[in-house]
Amino acid sequence: MILNNLEIQHTPVMVPEILKGLNVSPGGRYIDCTLGEGGHTKSILEASNPGGEVLGIDADHEAIEVSKTRLEKYDDRFIFSNNNFNEIRKIAMKSNFIPCHGILFDLGVSSLQLDKESRGFSFRRKAPLDMRFSVNQTLTAEEVINTFSESEIADILYNFGEERRSRKIANIIVQNRPIKDADELSNLIKTNLKRTNFKINPSTKTFQALRIYINEELNSLSKALEQSLEVVGVGGRIAVISYHSLEDRIVKNFFRNESKYCICLPNITECDCGHIPKIKIINKKPIIPSQNEIDSNKRSRSAKLRVVERI
Q: According to the model, what pLDDT value does residue 11 have?
A: 83
Q: Judge whether residue 112 has pLDDT over 60.
A: no
Q: What's the pLDDT band for 4 if we cut at 50, 70, 90?
A: very low
Higher pLDDT, 204 or 230: 230
Q: What's the pLDDT band for 137 if we cut at 50, 70, 90?
A: confident
Q: How many CA atoms lie within 13 A of 168 on its CB side?
A: 12
Q: According to the model, what pLDDT value does residue 127 have?
A: 83
Q: What's the pLDDT band for 84 if we cut at 50, 70, 90?
A: very high
Beta-sheet pairing, 232-242 with 29-32? unpaired
Could you give the residue ranges of the DSSP H alpha helices within the chain?
Answer: 2-9, 15-21, 39-47, 61-70, 88-94, 111-115, 141-147, 150-161, 166-175, 182-192, 204-214, 217-231, 245-258, 291-296
Q: Judge whether residue 124 has pLDDT over 80.
A: no
Q: According to the model, what pLDDT value does residue 165 have?
A: 95
Most confident region among 84-88, 131-135, 265-269 by mean pLDDT: 84-88
Q: According to the model, what pLDDT value does residue 198 have?
A: 62
What does CATH list as the number for 138-214? 1.10.150.170
Q: What proportion of the chain, given as a percentage, has pLDDT over 70?
A: 90
Q: According to the model, what pLDDT value does residue 277 have?
A: 95
Q: What is the tens place of the pLDDT at every residue in 33-45?
A: 999 999 999 999 9
Across the chain, what does the average pLDDT equal? 89
59: left (phi over 0), alpha (psi -120 to 50) or beta: alpha
Q: What proportion of the chain, given as a percentage, has pLDDT over 90?
A: 74
Would you tell me which CATH number, out of the four given (3.40.1410.10, 3.40.50.720, 3.30.70.330, 3.40.50.150), belongs to the domain 2-112+217-310? 3.40.50.150
Exposed e or buried b per residue across 46-66, where buried means at least 16 C-beta atoms within 10 angstroms of its C-beta: ebbeeebbbbbbbbbebbbeb
**Please, are residues 121 and 207 in contact by the beta-carbon 8 Å criterion?**
yes
Q: According to the model, what pLDDT value does residue 109 have?
A: 74
Determine the residue type at 155.
D
Rounded Cα distance between 251 and 240, Å, is 8
Q: What does the angle CA 244 – CA 248 – CA 249 come to, to the nearest 5 degrees? A: 115
**Please, are residues 63 and 109 in contact by the beta-carbon 8 Å criterion?**
no
Query: Is the pTM of the predicted complex or chain greater than 0.85?
Result: yes
How far is Cα of residue 66 from the mean position of the Cα atoms in its chain?
18
**Please, are residues 234 and 310 in contact by the beta-carbon 8 Å criterion?**
yes
Structural domain spans, the chain: 2-112+217-310, 138-214
